[in-house]
Structure 1
Amino acid sequence: MASRTSSLKYFSLLVLSLAIVQMTLAGDPDILTDFIAPPNGTVDGNFFTFTGMRVLVGGGPPKAFTVLKATLTEFPALNGQSVSYAVLEFPSGTTNPPHTHPRSAELLFLVEGTLEVGFVDTKNDLFTQTLQSGDLFVFPKGLAHFQFNADSSTPAIVISAFGSANAGTVSLPSTLFATNIDDNVLALSFKTDVATIQKLKAGLAPKP
C-alpha cells in the first residue's frame, strides 16, 4: 500500500484545480472586503494558514473511520470565502452513514483505494458508483448520500471540497434515533414497533 505521504501527492493539484470549481458551487453570502478579520487578533500569514492536516503526512493506515475538517470552525480565515475541505479516512469495511450537507454540494476526490458512493434525489431515485483512485464524484446540495469502503484489505482516503465555509452535516441515523423524537412517532413513520425503535436508539447511544 502506498504511504500516506505519497497518497496525498495530489493534494496541491487538487487545491489549485478545485479553487475554480468552488467559485461555481459557492453558496455563502458575498462579502464587501477581501477577507473577514477576527475581531481581536493579528492578521498575518498565520491567520491564513491551517496546519490541522499535517497529522496525515507520514502516518500509518487509519484504524477507524476518521474525518479531518478545515471549515469555518477550525479555520476562521475561511469566513466569507465560500470554501472548505475535509479529509476522510476509511479502513476496510467502514462507512460514512447517510447524511446531508444543507448548505453545499460536495465534490469528492478519491486519493487512494476504492469506494462505493451514492445519493438519493428528491424523486427517491438512487444513484450509485464504485470509485477508483483518481475519480471525482459530486453529491448535489442537500441530498442524502453515503460512502462505503467495501474492500476487505485496503483503506480508502478521500478529499472532499465544499462550496461553503460551513456546509453543515446532518447525520440521518443520529438525527432520527439519537435525539428526542418520540418513539411512537418513529415507530409509525417506519411501520415498526416501539421496541424496535428503542433497540435502534440503544445502538446509537454514546459509549460510556
Structure 2
Amino acid sequence: MGPPVVVTALIAALALVAGVSANDPDMLQDVCVADLNSTVRVNGFPCKSQINANDFFSDLLVKPGSTNNSQGSLVTAANVLRFPGLNTLGVSISRIDYAPGGQNPPHTHPRATEIVFVLYGELDVGFITTANVLVAKTIKPGEVFVFPRGLVHFQKNNGDVPAAVVAAFNSQLPGTQTIATSLFAASPPVPDNVLSKAFQVGTKEVQKIKSRLAPPKK
C-alpha cells in the first residue's frame, strides 16, 4: 500500500478525532513544540525557543511495522515523545500492523479515546464496559471504530492476510496499559498470591505466565 493511501487515512483519522473534545488542557499559545531535552518536568513539556517546519512533520507511519513477535502485531506511535510539534495540541496518531492471526492484546488508554481507520485487511475489534458487557464488531477497509477512554479493548486479525489501521487519539500522550503485561510483568512484581486469588488459579500457573511475559534479559 503506497504512501498516498496512508496520508489520506491519516487526514481522515485526524479529522474524525478533531470532533472529540480534547482530554488534554487547552493550549495558551499558537504552538509549543516540546523541548524533550529540558530538565524541567511539568504536566506536559516546556516549549522550544526556536521552531521550524520539521517540528510539525513526521514520516513515522509511512512504512509497515514488523509483526514478527509473539502477538503478531506492532504499534508505531506518533505521540509527543516522537513528534514534538504535538505538544499542547491534544492529539496523537499511531499505525498498527497485524500479521495473519495477529492481535493487539487487551489494553487501555487512560488519557484518551481512540478511533481506528482500517487501511487494509479485516479485524475483529471490541471493548468491554464497566458492566462487563462486550461490544464487538468486524471492521473492513475504510471503516472506523471507536474505543471509549479508559475501557479495555482489543483488535484481532482473524484473516489469512495482513491488516493495518491508523489510530487517532484525543491526547498528545494517551498512555497504554496492556492488561497481561501490567499484571504479570510489573516491576517490582505483583505478589503471586494476589494474582492467584484474582484469577482463581494456582501459584504455579501464575509463575508460568510471569516467566512467559518477563522482559528479555539484556
194 and 207 in structure 1: CA distance in 2 versus 1, 3 angstrom threshold? same
1:2-13 matches, within 5 Å, as: 4-5=1-2, 9=5, 11-12=7-8
Q: How far, CA to CA, are the matches of 1:199 and 1:67 in structure 2?
A: 26
From 165, 177, 183, the equivalent of 2:184 is: 177
Does the CA-based 8 Å contact 1:23-1:163 persist in structure 2? no
| Alignment pair present for 1:199 and 2:208 | yes
Question: How far apart are 1:128 and its partner, in Å?
Answer: 0.8
Q: TM-score when scaled to structure 1?
A: 0.88
The number of residue pairs the alignment matches comes to 200
Q: How far, CA to CA, are the matches of 1:78 and 1:50 in structure 2?
A: 11
Q: How far, CA to CA, are the matches of 1:102 and 1:48 in structure 2?
A: 25
Does the CA-based 8 Å contact 1:117-1:130 persist in structure 2? yes
- Tell me which residue corresponds to 1:126: 134
From 23, 30, 36, the equivalent of 1:34 is: 30
Residues 110-148 of structure 1: CA deviation (Å, up to 9, x unaligned):
110000101100110001111111110000000000010
Question: How far apart are 1:40 and its partner, in Å?
Answer: 4.8
Q: How far, CA to CA, are the matches of 2:31 and 2:117 in structure 1?
A: 27
Does the CA-based 8 Å contact 2:17-2:169 persist in structure 1? no
1:9-28 matches, within 5 Å, as: 9=5, 11-12=7-8, 14-15=10-11, 18-19=14-15, 21-28=17-24
Q: Secondary structure at the match of 1:24?
A: coil
Does the CA-based 8 Å contact 1:25-1:162 persist in structure 2? no
1:41-80 matches, within 5 Å, as: 42-56=50-64, 63=68, 64-80=72-88
The runs of 5 or more residues in structure 1 that have no matched partner are none
Question: How far apart are 1:21 and its partner, in Å?
Answer: 3.2
Residues 145-188 of structure 1: CA deviation (Å, up to 9, x unaligned):
0010011x210010000000001001101001111100001101
From 75, 89, 111, the equivalent of 2:97 is: 89
Question: How far apart are 1:65 and its partner, in Å?
Answer: 1.5
Question: What is the one-letter code of the residue matched to 1:78?
Answer: L
Q: How far, CA to CA, are the matches of 2:49 and 2:206 in structure 1?
A: 49
Q: How far, CA to CA, are the matches of 1:41 and 1:18 in structure 2?
A: 27
RMSD: 2.0
Q: How far, CA to CA, are the matches of 1:54 and 1:110 in structure 2?
A: 15
Question: How far apart are 1:92 and its partner, in Å?
Answer: 0.3
Question: How far apart are 1:203 and its partner, in Å?
Answer: 1.1
Does the CA-based 8 Å contact 2:13-2:117 persist in structure 1? no
Q: Secondary structure at the match of 1:187?
A: helix
Does the CA-based 8 Å contact 1:50-1:75 persist in structure 2? yes
Question: What is the one-letter code of the residue matched to 2:77?
Answer: K
Question: What is the one-letter code of the residue matched to 2:82?
Answer: E
Question: How far apart are 1:41 and its partner, in Å?
Answer: 5.6
From 86, 107, 120, the equivalent of 1:99 is: 107
